[in-house]
Structure 1
Amino acid sequence: MSPRGIAIPDVRERLFDAAERILAREGPSGLTSRAVTTEAGCAKGMLHKHFEGLDELVAELVLARFARTARLAEDLPARAGESTVAANLTEIGHALLTSLNPTTAGLAASTPAASLRIREALKAGAPGFDAIQHSITTYLDAEINTGRLPPTTDTTTTALALVGTVHHLLMTTWEPPTQDPRAQTKNLVKTLLATPTPTTPTTPTT
């Protein structure tokens, strides 16, 4: 709290927000330590007080956004029976898809040090794709119990397909996409939930 009782946003979050704005506005070339602290309204040395450098800032930004989406996904099982299954899955898919702006995702993927730090953190248990996938699986299991999904639904594979595909879209749409990834996510959910139409066996001709 400030002396006047006004809450001051977390410095790390201010730096994250500033970095995202710079990347969206100017691209990776505009991301410098001074630009970030100026954009965030912080002292010049504040970035290096919290991060070793820009690579760590980018990595921690990505991990923070993944963790935020994972927290949203944690609430999904409690929504079983509400809205529609497709709407609920599409919402969490879009939340993951928009957790990072395309330039940030591209920079994280193309910077070896940042990419390595992200992989190591996720492997060590930082909330991310595995946590989101687990929440979606739990939600789908709950929807089977409500009767809105058939008991034969492979919930684990469905969750894996959704998270894996959206992850791919998230990390590649920094290149000019041929389709709107949000529409692709919606179509993916529709396909995953589609009930296969049984084929009628044909009688062999002699």
Structure 2
Amino acid sequence: MSPRGVATPDVRELLFAAAERVLAGAEPTALTSRAITDEAGCAKGLLHAHFSGLDEFVAELVLDRFAATAREVGELPARAGLATVAENLTAAALALLTSTSPRITGLAVSRPAAAALVRQALEAGAPGFAATQDSVADYLDAELRLGRLRDGADTASLALALVGTVHHLLMTGWAGSPEPRAQVERLVALLSGAAGSPA
């Protein structure tokens, strides 16, 4: 535990990582301010010193993970012409799928105040699924220009199909669900075939 009066480095990430560990093997109701700070090994009031409450904390955690994924997938257009289209799309889809735990996103959805904060931030331009979808479409456009997709391929619809499906898998990926990686790989194979991309 940090001594009193000693600054805790990168407090947000410390608390975010602790919350993910709390939820790794527990039900969403296990996520409390006390459970988070206990797991982080920090003062009990640290969370409330940086967030107005648990709803804001959960919303900020989801938005932080979405933004990190948007940055990662934002590098996808630079990979045009490298590896295969299927490999690049699979990597992007898996980055999105693992951006945050389904338990975290499910918790955000089940808490109306947290869900509203996430929605407001996304509407105000915070990077999320729309930014990721745009990056995938930009990547496919680049591959189209390189001749690695068939002429006339509907890159915007392909990007929507990929990101929308992965979003669904992320929101419903609970214990007992089919293994999502295999589903992603089958989807990418289907979309690549529809786009006229070689395997």
Within 5 Å, give how 1:1-206 maps onto structure 2. Answer: 9-174=9-174, 176-177=176-177, 179-195=178-194
Return the index of the structure with the highest Cα Rg: 1
TM-score when normalising by structure 1:
0.87
Following TM superposition, the consecutive aligned residue runs of length 4 or more in structure 1 with deviations greater than 6 angstroms are none
User: Is the 2:150–2:195 Cα contact (8 Å) retained in structure 1?
Assistant: no
TM-score when normalising by structure 2:
0.90
Calculate percent identity across the aligned residue pairs.
61
- CA offset at residue 175 of structure 1? 5.7
- CA offset at residue 26 of structure 1? 2.4
CA distance in structure 1 between the partners assigned to 2:19 and 2:13 by the alignment: 10
**What runs of 5+ residues in structure 1 fail to find an aligned partner?**
1-7, 198-206
**What runs of 5+ residues in structure 2 fail to find an aligned partner?**
1-7
CA distance in structure 2 between the partners assigned to 1:30 and 1:36 by the alignment: 9
Change (3 A) 1:195 1:163: closer
With 119-128 and 99-108 compared, the bigger mean Cα shift is at 99-108
Count of aligned positions: 190
With 37-46 and 55-64 compared, the bigger mean Cα shift is at 37-46
User: Is the 1:106–1:174 Cα contact (8 Å) retained in structure 2?
Assistant: no
CA distance in structure 1 between the partners assigned to 2:29 and 2:109 by the alignment: 16
RMSD: 1.7
